[in-house]
Structure 1
Amino acid sequence: MRPTASQLSGKTGVRGCRWIPAAAALLLSLLLSMCLGFPPPVATCPLYCLCASDIISCSGRNLSVLPSDLPSYATRLDLSHNALAVLPVDWISRPFDRLATLVLSRNSISRIEVNAFSVAPHLLHLDISSNQLTVLNSSIFSGLKELKELLLFGNHILQIKPGAFGDLYSLQRLYLSGNRLTDFPLGLYWEPGGPRNLTFLDLSYNRLSKVPVQSLLSLTQQGGIYLQENPLVCDCSLLALLEYWMWRQYCPLVVFQGEYPCRDDSRSECSQQVVSDMSAEAQIYHGEPGKWLGVPCPGLTAPAQEVFWITPRTVLNSSTNDPSAHLIVSPNGTLEIRGALVDDSGIYVCVAARGRHNGPVESLEVNVVVGNVSTASASGLAHSSRAEHFNTAFTTLASCVVSIILVLLYLYLTPCRCQENRGEGARGCGGRAFVLCSDPREVESGQRRSNGKRVAFLEPQGEDSDVDGPKTPAMNSGHVSTEGILKNGSRTADQTLTDATHMA
């Protein structure tokens, strides 16, 4: 039977008093902690876990139920290599407000209840890899608004329901490799509450046979999507996408090029059109506002099965045209701009299966200019290629840096030779001595300008100079403290000026 509160305090009656050893030890430890300034212990580390500062590891303990006495001050909690099967809402008895990393890999988790992660609202990294998940239900990750990295690879995920990634506003990296997905999770990008800055998506080693090429042409402009080792159908649209990625040197394709199913022998059915030479520079097409403008696809002289155009605002497809649209793609691959606007100016890219890998020196881009050059440059040409922007910015920055260096060299590395009084001849201050020379007129008047020191660079004069007229004497170099000048830019107390009567 547990002791009551009166027993712990040592009171058994009004007059009697009895001490319990356990209670005495507890009171003694509390008193010592208060006297020595140590805070009382909040929670102890479980016997089957390892606690080091704010890191708690209960890995490899064959746990089927989580301990209820886990310290809540942890920032990293490792529960990997256990036997957890379900993650209920109350899997942790208390909120973990400081928890940033949670590792649940190598368990047998097949079900995660909604709001199971609400006890760790500041979680940044969540690892649920190598488990038994088959379906990602809606709102399964609700509450994780600060999560940046989610690892789900090595599960058996077949379906991702709408809203599964709700609340993951800050998610940047998502690993779904090694699952059983047959559909591309396109809702991950456009569903409300989903990730807004997803820059890495790994869908390799799944069961994808088709991918939304038109959407991928737009999504891969901002981040990397890995699709290797999927049974993709090598149709003309996929070949066009892969050829475009190779031309762009898209890293997810270049690194894993040998792990895509499309080989050179699968290009014959899509390479019926004639491929002409493509210039290394983007061609320029001019149009008048309100007029029709046709832009042919570079490298194509015959109709292709499917052509995509990447415009400054969207991606167009030749097989899904709207007759009333402002921009359409004709069957022969030509981009038609109906009622051209000044805002239509910019860089356009034609993506089609040409039957060969285009070299980096070949250009798939065209430059569309609507209106005069000045108007287009103020609007449409703002969408020029990133490489051109980088080169211009880098050149400007380099010019500014060089100009600053030259100014500093002129100000501080120009030698200033000083002379003694007029009759003693020229005596220099040293080939590399730096001296701030005052204006003789300021010395003569005994007044200083209020706008700071004046720096004058005096040309050295030879001892046998025959030039008539008084020479401009400098300060007495023997009384100048160069060290003080270099430190604070002003004269030290021991510096003296030559007599004003010797000044011209």
Structure 2
Amino acid sequence: MHPIASEFLANTDVAGSRCNPAAAAALVLLCLGFLPSVAPCPPYCFCASDIISCSGRNLSVLPFDLPSYAARLDLSHNALVALHVDWISHMFERLTTLVLSKNSISRIEINVFTVTPHLLHLDLSSNHLTVLNSSVFTGLKELKELLLFGNWIVQINPGSFRDLHSLQKLYLSANRLTAFPLGLYEEPEGPRNLTFLDLSYNRLSEVPIQSLLSLTRHGQIYLQENPLVCDCALLALLEYWIWKQYRPMVNFRSEYPCRVNEASQYNCTQQGVSDMSRETQTYQVEPGKWLGVPCPELTLPVQEGLLVFWITPTMALNSSTNDSSARLTVHTNGTLEIRRALEEDSGTYGCVVARGRHYNPSESLEVTVVVGNVSITSASGLAHRSTAEHFNTAFTTLASCVVSIILVLLYLYLTPCRCRESRGGGSRGCGGRALMICSDPREVESAQRRSNGKRVAFLEPQAEDCDSGGAKTPPMNLDHITTEGILKNGSRTVGQSLTDAAHVA
């Protein structure tokens, strides 16, 4: 019997001893097909909370009656050969992880994954896929990680990764690819945030150097254990990656067929030493003007046919294409030419060329370009710096004065000491009021003060219009009081932290 029906019948006694009208109505609706059913856990699977595992059951077809509440579904280590559109009869709204590894899947139909719209991780590794067709992953707009390593993939058709807008990590290692899948980055409907691409252990003989120089600034691309053909361009790329401490290159340097110290074998190096400093160079130019930037550490004259790349803030260029209409071009001698400079051209520029030796990360192979009015920029910079310094000094001084005044006022009017009455019991007078700083009221004596601590007294002028009927109180004898200043009491200085040079700055 259906589990929901069993629950309703448990709460309904047909014999008349007890009757639940709501349960009876729900039972009628269930029988008519108006209430959704929840499939039980299949006998050949293991279900725990929202995890369903049907791994290692030698399944040749996908289970049709899987519960839809699953968040993780493991179908690995089975005998599946294809994924059909009707592989499941209902939506998996909560499914975030689908594991289909270690099967024999060779074909995936279009729109198979539309029933899993919220999938985040898809594992199709170690199967028999040979071609990725267009729109094969349609519907996986939230997918972040896709595992395809260990297949037989030889071709990736245009549009294969359409809809994968959120894809961040793609594993294509251990396949049979002979061409770099550049469409991953260039197709408008493909991944937009891809930061990890593993193409190791494939059959790539060449890679798009210029595109890689731009792509690897924003992500990691692993290319080790490919039969790459060594040439000057590839050596330049590997040199640059080593200098930038690019992790995929540093971690697997020994697994690349080309070695930086083999540059002389391919006639890529120049004799002599460049006169340019290895420190970062800065070039300034006014907007609309022309600027020529030489390549750091490149000896002249440049060997004929040597390819020089420049990485700009927006793109990568090389010396093989010299478009006279372009604003940014690279000459055969390695010089970068900027025509009609714009403020957007400001930034860091890197020159990539086979130099034939290792460079330390502290040595700079990059230059900085600043587009702006040089004289005005310098003068305004100095004026702004001077004004800022004067303002900071004046503001610090003013703040110190205000804080000092506030502390003095707090000291005067919030100190809990009280004035003592005169020996005769009379008042000292309204104009002779004094605020005494003392540590213990019992230490105050009428005739003299003990000399074991310093005392401070603040006196106000005696008012002439006192309404007291008695005679004026004679001035106080201050011979026994040592005046040390406004903010001192004994050996303690109240405002010391404000006058410290380290805090004023």
Residue 321 of structure 2 is aligned to residue 310 of structure 1:
no
2:44 pairs, out of 40, 43, 48, with 48
Counterpart-to-counterpart distance in 1, 2:345 and 2:206: 32
TM-score (norm 2): 0.70
Q: For residue 190 of structure 2, give the secondary structure of its aligned residue in structure 1.
A: coil
Counterpart-to-counterpart distance in 1, 2:74 and 2:82: 16
1:279 aligns to what? 277
Alignment of 1:139-178 (within 5 A): 139-178=135-174
How far 1:324 sits from its partner (Å)? Answer: 2.4
2:367 aligns to what? 366
Counterpart-to-counterpart distance in 1, 2:224 and 2:177: 13
Counterpart-to-counterpart distance in 1, 2:457 and 2:189: 87
1:332 aligns to what? 333
Counterpart-to-counterpart distance in 2, 1:323 and 1:274: 31
1:445 aligns to what? none
* Structure 2 residue identity aligned to 1:91: W
- 5+ residue gaps, structure 2, are 14-19, 27-34, 379-395, 422-435, 441-452, 463-505
Counterpart-to-counterpart distance in 2, 1:24 and 1:371: 78
Counterpart-to-counterpart distance in 1, 2:5 and 2:167: 52
* Structure 2 residue identity aligned to 1:154: G
Q: 1:272 to 1:464 in 2, by over 3 A?
A: closer
Q: For residue 352 of structure 2, give the secondary structure of its aligned residue in structure 1.
A: strand
How far 1:277 sits from its partner (Å)? Answer: 5.9
Counterpart-to-counterpart distance in 2, 1:273 and 1:191: 43
1:132 aligns to what? 128
After superposition, the CA RMSD in angstroms is 3.4
2:10 pairs, out of 18, 24, 29, with 29
Q: For residue 122 of structure 1, give the secondary structure of its aligned residue in structure 2.
A: coil
Alignment of 1:141-290 (within 5 A): 141-268=137-264, 269-276=267-274, 279-290=277-288
How far 1:341 sits from its partner (Å)? Answer: 3.6
* Structure 2 residue identity aligned to 1:271: T
Counterpart-to-counterpart distance in 2, 1:27 and 1:339: 80
Counterpart-to-counterpart distance in 2, 1:170 and 1:208: 26
1:420 pairs, out of 402, 417, 425, with 417
Q: 1:243 to 1:30 in 2, by over 3 A?
A: farther
2:456 aligns to what? 465
- 5+ residue gaps, structure 1, are 9-21, 378-402, 430-461, 472-504
Q: 1:274 to 1:24 in 2, by over 3 A?
A: closer
Report if aligned partners of 1:370, 1:376 keep a CA contact under 8 Å in 2: no
1:295 pairs, out of 277, 283, 293, with 293
Aligned length: 389
* Per-residue deviation, residues 276-298 of structure 1 (Å, max 9, x unmatched): 26534321223344443221100
Q: For residue 241 of structure 1, give the secondary structure of its aligned residue in structure 2.
A: helix
Report if aligned partners of 1:273, 1:300 keep a CA contact under 8 Å in 2: no
Counterpart-to-counterpart distance in 2, 1:205 and 1:355: 26
Report if aligned partners of 1:347, 1:368 keep a CA contact under 8 Å in 2: yes
Counterpart-to-counterpart distance in 1, 2:4 and 2:69: 27
1:60 pairs, out of 56, 60, 77, with 56
TM-score (norm 1): 0.70
Report if aligned partners of 2:238, 2:260 keep a CA contact under 8 Å in 1: no
Residue 318 of structure 2 is aligned to residue 322 of structure 1:
no
Report if aligned partners of 1:83, 1:107 keep a CA contact under 8 Å in 2: yes
* Per-residue deviation, residues 23-42 of structure 1 (Å, max 9, x unmatched): 9967533649988x9x9972
* Structure 1 residue identity aligned to 2:282: I
1:82 aligns to what? 78
Counterpart-to-counterpart distance in 1, 2:113 and 2:273: 55
Identical-pair percentage:
67
How far 1:68 sits from its partner (Å)? Answer: 1.2
* Structure 1 residue identity aligned to 2:455: D
How far 1:274 sits from its partner (Å)? Answer: 3.5
Q: For residue 324 of structure 1, give the secondary structure of its aligned residue in structure 2.
A: coil
* Structure 1 residue identity aligned to 2:319: S
1:456 aligns to what? none
How far 1:344 sits from its partner (Å)? Answer: 2.9
How far 1:468 sits from its partner (Å)? Answer: 4.2
Counterpart-to-counterpart distance in 2, 1:428 and 1:226: 76
* Per-residue deviation, residues 7-64 of structure 1 (Å, max 9, x unmatched): x9xxxxxxxxxxxxx99967533649988x9x99722100010111111110110100
* Per-residue deviation, residues 163-187 of structure 1 (Å, max 9, x unmatched): 0000101111111011111100000
2:99 pairs, out of 97, 100, 103, with 103
Q: For residue 456 of structure 2, give the secondary structure of its aligned residue in structure 1.
A: coil
Q: 1:463 to 1:307 in 2, by over 3 A?
A: same
How far 1:98 sits from its partner (Å)? Answer: 1.1
* Per-residue deviation, residues 336-378 of structure 1 (Å, max 9, x unmatched): 223334443332111111001111121111122344248779x
